[in-house]
């Protein structure tokens, strides 16, 4: 299966560069120059992953991601010239799976794309084996690993693809402590110390979505100096 990558970027030089490297890596590429066109392309289907700039005409990248997350867990990687921590946190908070800054190494972008696709699609492929459970249940939470849907008390909880992977890893072994590195590996590959804040944002977002009181979590617990674990009550 050939994956199709959607580039949402208004800089034609960047589109040309990314298209060159992505097609060279055997991906199909579509490109649009504003957020509204990107949303329309995603709704039409056939897109495997999105590379999105933040500053685009019509609809910015933040709003694009917010709207996509209302109906899809499609992997979305941000490519932006904004390097402030606040911008990165906001990008991850609205639902991006990774935040890459410009100027970038095109080969590194391709590596991120491959890792995101591998993790996103292998999560489903791995759980489709006959010896693997299709549903993980813990307390009020029920994670369908076939359809990638989380329900709490029977109500669907919208999660990003990254949040789904983290939660699936935690729910697969209740009570086990996972380091940030182990959780990051299930999301996108190699872990670096600079990724600490990224993982904390993902955990914070998960708590906001699944906990009744995120400040006093019932499910996802922090184990100081080690990492995180999930517990059922």
Over its length of 233 residues, how does the chain's per-residue pLDDT go in tens digits? Answer: 689 999 999 999 999 999 999 999 999 999 999 999 999 999 888 899 999 999 998 889 999 998 988 888 889 999 999 888 888 888 888 888 889 999 999 999 999 999 888 877 765 433 433 444 468 889 899 998 767 789 999 899 998 888 888 998 898 888 888 888 788 777 665 555 555 677 888 999 999 999 999 999 999 999 988 889 998 75
**Model pLDDT for residues 160-172, shown as the tens digit of each residue:** 888 888 998 898 8
Distance between the two ends of the chain, CA-based, in angstroms? 42
Query: pTM (2 decimals)?
Result: 0.59
Cα(55)–Cα(68) distance, integer angstroms: 17
Q: Is 57 exposed, middle or buried (0-12, 13-18, 19+ CB in 10 A)?
A: exposed
Do the strands 135-138 and 141-144 form a parallel or antiparallel pair, or are they unpaired?
antiparallel
Cα(72)–Cα(46) distance, integer angstroms: 12
Instruction: Pull the structure tokens for residue 25.
Output: 């890596």
């Amino acid at each position: 299966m050939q994956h199709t990558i959607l580039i949402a970027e208004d800089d034609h030089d960047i589109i040309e560069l990314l298209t060159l490297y992505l097609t060279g890596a055997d991906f199909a590429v579509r490109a649009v120059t504003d957020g509204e066109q990107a949303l329309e392309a995603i709704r039409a289907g056939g897109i495997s992953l999105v590379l999105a700039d933040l500053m685009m005409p019509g609809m910015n990248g933040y709003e694009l991601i917010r709207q996509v997350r209302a109906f899809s867990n499609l992997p979305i990687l941000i490519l932006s010239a904004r390097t402030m921590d606040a911008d990165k946190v906001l990008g991850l908070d609205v639902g991006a799976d990774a935040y890459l800054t410009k100027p970038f190494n095109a080969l590194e972008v391709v590596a991120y794309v491959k890792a995101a696709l591998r993790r996103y699609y292998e999560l489903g492929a791995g759980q489709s084996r006959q010896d693997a459970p299709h549903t993980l249940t813990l307390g009020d939470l029920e994670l369908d690993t076939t359809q990638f849907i989380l329900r709490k008390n029977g109500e669907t909880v919208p999660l990003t693809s990254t949040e789904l992977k983290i939660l699936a890893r935690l729910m697969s072994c209740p009570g086990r402590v996972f380091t940030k590195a182990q959780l990051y590996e299930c999301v996108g590959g190699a872990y670096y110390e600079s990724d600490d804040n990224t993982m904390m944002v993902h955990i914070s977002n998960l708590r906001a979505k699944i906990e009744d009181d995120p400040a006093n979590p019932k499910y996802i617990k922090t184990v100081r100096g080690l990492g995180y674990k999930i517990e059922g009550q």
